[in-house]
A and B are shown apart, each in its own frame.
Chain A
């Protein structure tokens, strides 16, 4: 098991390096630089700034300098906020963003899996069509539409929940979590339904019924484990996406998370900030995909015995 993990972690390093290299080159190719403003600064100032951030070195030197700092855990200074480091900005945003992501993930898995199972129990009946149409709507509605709708209904008309903020009032975390998790819940519902339908048609389900087990036991004990495989595969990248924050949802609900920095960094040509957020996101993807793989193998005794060593 350890060996398998080690191998996978080692394999992730070239992936991350490639991501860094591509991002590094792409942002240099993009027109404009970090110190371009509407009001042009004097050439001397720009030159000084370039010197200060080593932007006058050849690109490959800059790249290796950056890598060198990176392995020491230093993401470099932000170009936009001269007094703060990228590490500091990201680590300030993470707790809030991660909390939001975690709740959204719970929403996604909870609602998604339950409604998927319900739909799979009676395929092609109302019990199937209703949750599945809802999930189709969930996939089609982007967060910037769903968020305001939820705010209107629950925040303004019904007045049940606060319309914005994070941790200032009771229950103000509910709407953002729902908004962020909805689309993922919808995907998970469809994946669960598919996985469950596949498993429910297996011979061993018939065996379980023939034993005299009640239906809920057949589903919980025999079908769910195999039926969730596609969900888990999707949950890896989904978790990475949720935990790294969303610009849209954080803006709608005025949450001081990390989401805003992705966009701002790109607009400002804040090179180090772009790299920092990208690396953060890529690492999350790598980590959660690995977790999903481990979980899949652990759930399946056949894989547990054979795949791990290869």
Chain B
């Protein structure tokens, strides 16, 4: 029997442009003990669907237009606040995407878990604490008796997500709604959390709704899948069937957008291609302070520890590693956004580490960066035209009269219509914004581009488009790129060679296919095996 049945749910939001439909006529049912995967890109309504069932959508601006969400026959949508509160957190629990922000930073984790228990059950403080400790133990927190009194910031991202899961499960709910619970985590941590959820689900016969944008994650987990786009259900069915014989075009498109293959054309780089960037024994160290009150502990963190590598003209070198591996620091050290302690960085034979401030400013023309978050890295108060024209004018590569021509050229290059030139960044979608960021990086015709997770914030279909664009552009302009990413399949799709970093050290560097097919270092092997596979 279905324990949760959603019938014809429609949710809308009042916005400045009038009422927009976030969820339209969505129906599905949830059987006890199953894992239902809801997949979709951002804006597909997958989260709103679940949030509105528990009254977590702020109203206004949200409004439930129509529909029912029957939990054991009771409609959650029409229930009064008090009765809904008894179900929320007690019968249906939630975990969220970002474990860094989803826990209250001001409260000890034990207290946060106890609170969930105490609000729903008449238990003593001591009992609640015991429950919290055993919940923490269940999710694999070592030394739970002590850690129960720690604050969230004393845990790593993966551990915090475990704490979240412990908090959600401490009340022994029937249904767990997991909203992108592994999206913010590294791939090896993601695997651990997914394994944990699977084992808990089996042990407790828990029912799970798993919301994600990542088809591969769903595939390894769900029995049943719902595919959503723009607020509507596109396809629904048994997981095996949806993945193996997708019926709807959108599902097919989603599946096709995931990079699974190697670079589609052979590298132009040969033995005789000259080296563009040569890094020798680069060291970048931070000093970290820790310890409480009196004890001052200074700790040297070697973010980049003795790294040497070279990139040839026209080559795309992938740099992979988990968060904290030092890959971004390495990228920034090369172009001296962060000063390193020792080592040489030769760009076309010129040592960047030896340049003075004035020389460095001129040299910056030759290398540009593309950042992860196009929302944050574009100035919101400048039009696209100004954003693109600014570097050209500052470096005197164009005059006020002919800058328009070059800017138009750039827009063509990145596949944006010229008529958008007078618009501001917020008027564009995420993918378009990243195109603008790419155009800006290309404006000065740099020799080297350092791309730091440029597609990580994008939806999978948009990601596929941007990756294709990057491939075309590097080919057309013979660009050299250091492509920093945590996503191994993206790196495989784009890069000629791949470097793997762990704890600031370069552990492996090889041709892409050689590395993927025959990883030598144990860490590379671990990384590769942690990727949830689609086929």
Contacts and interface: CB of A to CB of B under 8 A. Distances in A.
A222 B289 contact: no
B292 A299 contact: no
A222 B56 CA distance: 16
Contacts of B86: 212
B147 interface: no
Given A1-B293, A204-B102, A222-B104, A210 B88 contact: yes
Interface stretch (B93-101, B278-286, B512-520): B93-101
Interface stretch (B114-122, B234-242, B380-388): B114-122
Nearest to A3: B294
Contacts of A306: 289-290
B291 A309 contact: yes
Interface stretch (A99-107, A182-190, A213-221): A213-221
Nearest to B177: A210
A300 B153 CA distance: 11
A213 B55 CA distance: 12
B191 interface: no
Interface in A272-310: 299-302, 305-306, 308-310
Most chain B CB within 10 A, of A214, A300, A308, A309, is at A309
Contacts of A3: 294
Given A210-B54, A302-B105, A302-B151, A308 B90 contact: no
B119 A217 contact: yes
Contact of B96 (A203, A213, A221, A299): A203
Contacts of B106: 222, 225-226, 299-301
Nearest to A215: B81
Q: How large is the interface on A (under 10, 10 to 19, 20 to 34, 35 or more residues)?
A: 20 to 34
Interface string A143-174: 00000000000000000000000000000000
A303 B242 CA distance: 49
A48 interface: no
Given A222-B107, A302-B153, A211 B293 contact: no
B151 A301 contact: yes
A84 interface: no
B101 A213 contact: no
Interface in A70-105: none
Nearest to B94: A210
Contact of B119 (A204, A207, A211, A299): A211
B350 to A, nearest CB: 37
A87 B524 CA distance: 75
Nearest to A225: B106
Query: A-side binding surface: helix, strand, loop or mixed?
Result: helix
A208 interface: yes
A305 B107 contact: no
B290 A211 contact: no
Contacts of A1: 293-294
A212 B102 contact: no
Interface in A190-238: 202-204, 206-214, 217, 221-222, 225-226
Nearest to A223: B104
Given A210-B94, A212-B85, A212-B119, A305 B290 contact: yes
Given A309-B289, A309-B293, A212 B101 contact: no
A207 B102 contact: yes
Contacts of A211: 88-89, 93, 115-116, 119, 167
B119 A213 contact: yes
Contacts of B296: 309
Nearest to A125: B60
Nearest to A226: B106
B289 A207 contact: no
Nearest to A222: B104
A3 B291 CA distance: 14
A59 to B, nearest CB: 45
Most chain B CB within 10 A, of A202, A212, A214, is at A212
A21 B37 CA distance: 71
A11 B225 CA distance: 63
Contacts of A214: 85, 119
A274 to B, nearest CB: 41
Interface string A1-41: 11100000000000000000000000000000000000000
B442 interface: no
B116 A212 contact: yes
B292 A305 contact: yes
A203 B101 contact: yes
B103 interface: yes
A207 B96 contact: yes
Nearest to B151: A301
Interface string B167-207: 10000000000000000000000000000000000000000
B472 to A, nearest CB: 38
Contacts of B87: 212
A3 B88 CA distance: 46
Nearest to A210: B94
B41 to A, nearest CB: 21
B294 A206 contact: no
Contact of B104 (A207, A210, A308): A207
A301 B294 CA distance: 16
B457 to A, nearest CB: 17
A213 B115 contact: yes
Interface in B129-143: none
Given A203-B101, A222-B107, A310 B289 contact: yes
Contacts of B294: 1-3, 309
B106 to A, nearest CB: 5
A257 B119 CA distance: 51
Contacts of B103: 204, 207
A2 B293 CA distance: 8
A206 B292 CA distance: 31
Most chain B CB within 10 A, of A1, A203, A210, A309, is at A210
Contact of A301 (B105, B116, B119): B105
B96 A212 contact: no
A78 B121 CA distance: 69
A209 B56 contact: yes
B261 to A, nearest CB: 36
A300 B119 CA distance: 25
Contacts of A222: 104, 106-107
A211 to B, nearest CB: 4
Nearest to B99: A203
B164 to A, nearest CB: 8
A221 B115 contact: yes
Most chain B CB within 10 A, of A204, A217, A300, is at A204
Contacts of A207: 94, 96, 102-104, 164, 167
Contacts of B116: 211-212
Given A203-B101, A305-B153, 10 more contacts: A2-B294, A204-B105, A206-B102, A207-B94, A210-B54, A212-B87, A212-B116, A213-B119, A226-B105, A305-B292
- The 6 A-B pairs with the shortest beta carbon distances in the complex, nearest first, are A212-B89, A203-B101, A211-B89, A301-B151, A204-B104, A212-B88
9 contacts: A202-B101, A204-B104, A207-B103, A207-B167, A210-B54, A213-B119, A225-B106, A300-B105, A306-B290
